[in-house]
A and B are shown apart, each in its own frame.
Chain A
Amino acid sequence: MNQFVLYQKNALELRLFPHITEVGAVKNSAIRLDGFPCTTADTLKIYYIQDGKFEWIINKRNYTLYPGDVAIIMPGIEFGNENNVLEIGSFYWVHLQMVKAEKWHEACPWSSLSETEIESIRKTLQMNQSPVFKKFQEIGVILKSIQSELTSQEIAYHTRVNHLLDEIFIQSARQFNSLSDTGRNFPGTFMKLEQALRQNLAHQWTVDEMATFTGLCTTLFNERVKNYSGFSPLSYLINIRITEAIKLLKQPNVSLTNIALDVGFYSSQHFSTTFKKLTGYTPSQYRKNYLQKNN
């Protein structure tokens, strides 16, 4: 492998890529003391081990990385070697600038991914309890390509490098989903989504937002929800809204407008038509019936 390191502050190769704070490949043939300190930064760091064995601390936990392993260190997370030692072996890495931990898309004007897609990827990676992926050679291939693009600077290398960074995002999120319970357990994931909907029923949920929760694209999300629940995502949401409204209608001191807004209808008119379509009663008739019957 060809060793190289580029830093944003002095590398001309990175002038078109203000978002790459650091990119490099290192081959270390003897232990270097004072070579790999623990630091915290606002960057997203991706490391791929080519050779050797590395003992690193990520977020106060010890990890041992072997060839083929990938470490993804989220912004603001402490990372390095406990004794500031750089061990024998070789690895590739890239650091990407992230302005705010919560708003990746603002830090990624270079990306061709949509705002929702970046948001899905961020949530997926954040859900990941373990920052180390075993045997994830795909990332090594991408990092090597980035290196050769930056050194040879052939036609359209600007676009190509950014595409490769997107590819890292996509591959990592997919890898996580296929390994984790989230990608295997639809009932469990759907239950978590249902809880989130109930906790914030007044919110005007969109299908995109709901899909983000599961790590699926909107089309596939629609299909899986329909298949599993029998309802489209929005119909399922209306189902919960009406169910909660029924409970509130039995309490005589809550106004109909408040019920409508609390359970997520945008007006009492919208509430009334939807409720009547399903139950045959308007909300006020339903309440009157209930109170009459029980007095």
Chain B
Amino acid sequence: MECIITIELGTNAVRVYAFDLKGNTIGSLKGYCPTFHSEPNYSEQDPDQIFITMLYVLKNLLNDFVHPQKYKVSTICFSSSMHSLLAVDKRGNPMGKAITWADSRADKEAAALNGSALGKKIYHATGTPLHPMSPLTKIAWMKNNENEKFKQVSKFLSLKSYILQQLTGEYMIDYSIASATGLLNIHKIKWNTDSLKFAGITAGMLPELVPVFSNAGKLNKAYQTSLGLSAHTQIVVGSSDGCMATLGDGINGEGTATITVEDSGAVRVMSDKVLHDEKQRFFNYLLTEKRYISGGPTNNGGVVFEWFTRQFGDFKNLFDIEYSMQELINEAANVPPGSDGLIFLPYLLGERAPIWNANARGVFFGLNIKHDKAHFVRAAIEGILYEIYSIGKTLAQHRKIDSLSINGSFGTLPFFAQMVADIYNKPVRLRQNYHSVSYGSYLLSATKMGIYKSLDEAAKSVELTDLVTPDKKNNKSYNAYFKIFERLSTKLANEFADIAALQRQ
């Protein structure tokens, strides 16, 4: 019996799944990897720790589920979070830690590009918003601030490129991850000259650019032995978490949008055309040469509700945040939709799409003497999902969205899913206990193995079993309050800038 293993290198954890060829889960394990903040605006991960964690978890998964049932591993497919940057010296040694998407040290470099003619040109060529998350601005930051180190750099890698190189010896980067660097021309699928010039590097300093289906080379002998895998196991480069979540939810063209609510969140659509937004609010990432995943990311997803729970939850059981969150949700359920006029702007971490304002901050608005704690809870959740709606509504100016799917650990909570359906006034599909990113990687591998003729066919095979239908009455309440939410989100720009400046002192 053959099986497919998918490995997701996420910002919080490495997740490894084993699937049989029909897509049933044989087993799954995760391993936590810390994010380090040596400066307040830094966000870094240790590439060696991710590698060791990945090996450890993979080995445990093989020993616990795969080898005992005599499965033969035919493919191991990778996915990872986007925008990571790791500099290595000429020996391939990491020069410090890898910088993650959440790092904002390059805010000046991003601001310099934003609003400039060059910036506009680069955005439309690369599809990556001009933001400190983008490796383009991170490399420029290193050039401007750590020039001695910058001169010693032999290659700039993504975290996934480093992990693959450790396993097989090859330096590679797939179209999806490359299209999120700000360095790739997504129309020509070539490194973008303007970007390279701005960053101060040559194409030779980047890994080899390959399609998501490519083999990353042969697994090193030592790992074959320690993991108990054959030399014929195919190591597939794979894609990014965002692209895989979209594929995993079965999106195969226009008409459907998929919503992810993890710690952060995103709304994505798929098309064979680039989404052209004059205001530069959306990303366009490549799944394949012909498939673009477009959409907008929010910083303030489940992480905001987690913060809220830590402050106001009733921690009857030490450290049991799931229980405390559920208690709060039960309280919120007793408050009518719209929280009797209490509105929450969830911008605790600044915001990306659609307002792209790093200075934005959290706001409770409309508070009156009749509001109690439960109103705050409900308003907090509504605020997070109004923001998700705000992205979707802006996307709808470019793409028709008839139906929705939702995934992620917060998105699939019934209370959240119902609220999304009500706010959007659209049916929402999901599957409980289902990991979209890993399933997307399974579909990619299965297509490569010929089980599906194409990614389209693979996506069409996905059946999301749970359907949440919108409540018209609730939609009416949400709609009225959302209009105020939307106006507030931009109206306070000057005050956001002032308070952010004071908070930085």
Interface residues of A, Cβ cutoff 8 Å to B? 177-178, 181, 183-186, 189-191, 194, 214-216, 220, 224, 228-231, 235-236, 239-240, 242-243, 246-247, 250, 276-281, 285, 293-294
User: Which of A220, A230, A276 lies in contact with B31, CB distance below 8 A?
Assistant: A230
Whether, in the assembled complex, B34 has its beta carbon less than 8 Å from a beta carbon of chain A, the answer is yes
Interface core residue of B221, B309, B316, B318 (most chain A CB under 10 Å): B318
Contact between B49 and A184, CB atoms less than 8 A apart: no
Contact between B57 and A280, CB atoms less than 8 A apart: no
A238 nearest CB neighbor, chain B only: B56
Residues on A with beta carbons closer than 8 Å to the beta carbon of B48: 243, 246-247
Query: Given contacts A243-B46, A243-B52, A250-B93, is CB(A278)–CB(B59) below 8 Å?
Result: yes
Q: How far is the CB of A228 from chain B (nearest CB, A)?
A: 6
Q: How far is the CB of B218 from chain A (nearest CB, A)?
A: 14
Residues on B with beta carbons closer than 8 Å to the beta carbon of A239: 31, 49, 52-53, 56
B311 nearest CB neighbor, chain A only: A184
Residues on A with beta carbons closer than 8 Å to the beta carbon of B30: 230
Contact between A278 and B56, CB atoms less than 8 A apart: yes
Residues on A with beta carbons closer than 8 Å to the beta carbon of B225: 280
Docked Cα-Cα span, A278 to B53, in Å, equals 10
Q: How far is the CB of A125 from chain B (nearest CB, A)?
A: 16
Whether, in the assembled complex, B32 has its beta carbon less than 8 Å from a beta carbon of chain A, the answer is yes
Whether, in the assembled complex, B222 has its beta carbon less than 8 Å from a beta carbon of chain A, the answer is yes
Q: How far is the CB of B16 from chain A (nearest CB, A)?
A: 10
Residues on B with beta carbons closer than 8 Å to the beta carbon of A220: 318
Q: How far is the CB of B309 from chain A (nearest CB, A)?
A: 8
Within residues 18 to 50 of chain B, which ones have a CB less than 8 A from any CB in chain A?
29-32, 34, 46, 48-49
- How many B residues touch the partner, as a band? 35 or more
Docked Cα-Cα span, A220 to B92, in Å, equals 42
Q: How far is the CB of A30 from chain B (nearest CB, A)?
A: 42
Since A184-B324, A230-B31, A278-B52 are in contact, a sample of 19 more A-B pairs with Cβ atoms closer than 8 Å, ordered by chain A residue number, is: A183-B319, A184-B319, A230-B29, A230-B32, A230-B57, A235-B56, A243-B46, A246-B48, A246-B52, A250-B93, A277-B226, A278-B56, A278-B226, A279-B55, A280-B220, A280-B221, A280-B222, A280-B224, A280-B227
Contact between B313 and A184, CB atoms less than 8 A apart: yes
Residues on A with beta carbons closer than 8 Å to the beta carbon of B91: 293-294
**What are 15 residue pairs bridging A and B, where the CB atoms are less than 8 Å apart in the complex?**
A178-B316, A186-B321, A228-B32, A230-B57, A231-B32, A239-B49, A239-B56, A243-B48, A246-B52, A250-B93, A278-B55, A279-B222, A280-B221, A280-B226, A281-B222
Q: How far is the CB of A120 from chain B (nearest CB, A)?
A: 12
Within residues 297 to 314 of chain B, which ones have a CB less than 8 A from any CB in chain A?
309-310, 313
Interface residues of B, Cβ cutoff 8 Å to A? 13, 29-32, 34, 46, 48-49, 52-53, 55-57, 59, 90-93, 220-227, 309-310, 313, 315-316, 318-319, 321, 324
Q: How far is the CB of B165 from chain A (nearest CB, A)?
A: 11
Residues on B with beta carbons closer than 8 Å to the beta carbon of A294: 90-92
B15 nearest CB neighbor, chain A only: A230
Contact between B319 and A186, CB atoms less than 8 A apart: yes
Q: How far is the CB of A294 from chain B (nearest CB, A)?
A: 4
Residues on B with beta carbons closer than 8 Å to the beta carbon of A276: 226
Docked Cα-Cα span, A285 to B222, in Å, equals 10
User: Which of A216, A235, A242, A285 lies in contact with B319, CB distance below 8 A?
Assistant: A216
Residues on B with beta carbons closer than 8 Å to the beta carbon of A186: 319, 321
Residues on B with beta carbons closer than 8 Å to the beta carbon of A229: 31-32
Q: How far is the CB of B171 from chain A (nearest CB, A)?
A: 13
Residues on A with beta carbons closer than 8 Å to the beta carbon of B57: 230
Docked Cα-Cα span, A236 to B32, in Å, equals 9
Query: Given contacts A235-B56, A247-B48, is CB(A224)–CB(B319) below 8 Å?
Result: yes
Contact between A177 and B318, CB atoms less than 8 A apart: yes
B29 nearest CB neighbor, chain A only: A230
Residues on B with beta carbons closer than 8 Å to the beta carbon of A278: 52, 55-56, 59, 226
Residues on B with beta carbons closer than 8 Å to the beta carbon of A230: 13, 29-32, 57
Docked Cα-Cα span, A236 to B34, in Å, equals 11
Interface core residue of A186, A216, A239, A294 (most chain B CB under 10 Å): A239
User: Which of B56, B92, B221, B315 lies in contact with A178, CB distance below 8 A?
Assistant: B315
Docked Cα-Cα span, A293 to B166, in Å, equals 13
Q: How far is the CB of B391 from chain A (nearest CB, A)?
A: 26
Contact between A184 and B92, CB atoms less than 8 A apart: no
Residues on B with beta carbons closer than 8 Å to the beta carbon of A250: 93
Interface core residue of B222, B309, B313, B324 (most chain A CB under 10 Å): B222
B313 nearest CB neighbor, chain A only: A184
A180 nearest CB neighbor, chain B only: B315
Residues on A with beta carbons closer than 8 Å to the beta carbon of B34: 191, 194
Query: Given contacts A184-B315, A294-B92, is CB(A242)–CB(B52) below 8 Å?
Result: yes
B47 nearest CB neighbor, chain A only: A243
Q: How far is the CB of B387 from chain A (nearest CB, A)?
A: 23
A244 nearest CB neighbor, chain B only: B48
A198 nearest CB neighbor, chain B only: B34
Q: How far is the CB of B73 from chain A (nearest CB, A)?
A: 16
Contact between B52 and A184, CB atoms less than 8 A apart: no
Residues on A with beta carbons closer than 8 Å to the beta carbon of B53: 239
Residues on B with beta carbons closer than 8 Å to the beta carbon of A240: 49
Query: Given contacts A235-B56, A243-B49, A280-B225, is CB(A184)–CB(B321) below 8 Å?
Result: yes
Docked Cα-Cα span, A185 to B319, in Å, equals 6
A285 nearest CB neighbor, chain B only: B222
Docked Cα-Cα span, A178 to B319, in Å, equals 9
Docked Cα-Cα span, A211 to B48, in Å, equals 26
Query: Given contacts A229-B32, A247-B48, A278-B56, is CB(A184)–CB(B223) below 8 Å?
Result: no
Residues on A with beta carbons closer than 8 Å to the beta carbon of B46: 243
Docked Cα-Cα span, A224 to B320, in Å, equals 8
Contact between B49 and A183, CB atoms less than 8 A apart: no
Residues on A with beta carbons closer than 8 Å to the beta carbon of B221: 280
Docked Cα-Cα span, A181 to B53, in Å, equals 28
A215 nearest CB neighbor, chain B only: B318
Docked Cα-Cα span, A250 to B92, in Å, equals 11
Docked Cα-Cα span, A181 to B321, in Å, equals 12
Residues on B with beta carbons closer than 8 Å to the beta carbon of A236: 32
What 3 pairs between A and B have smallest CB-CB spacing? A280-B222, A280-B226, A229-B32
Q: How far is the CB of A165 from chain B (nearest CB, A)?
A: 23
A217 nearest CB neighbor, chain B only: B318
Q: How far is the CB of B235 from chain A (nearest CB, A)?
A: 15
Docked Cα-Cα span, A294 to B92, in Å, equals 8
Docked Cα-Cα span, A185 to B306, in Å, equals 9
Docked Cα-Cα span, A183 to B315, in Å, equals 8
Residues on B with beta carbons closer than 8 Å to the beta carbon of A181: 310
Docked Cα-Cα span, A22 to B255, in Å, equals 77
Docked Cα-Cα span, A50 to B257, in Å, equals 61
A278 nearest CB neighbor, chain B only: B55
Docked Cα-Cα span, A183 to B224, in Å, equals 43
Residues on A with beta carbons closer than 8 Å to the beta carbon of B90: 294
Docked Cα-Cα span, A215 to B317, in Å, equals 12
Docked Cα-Cα span, A279 to B318, in Å, equals 37
Q: How far is the CB of A170 from chain B (nearest CB, A)?
A: 13
Q: How far is the CB of B193 from chain A (nearest CB, A)?
A: 31
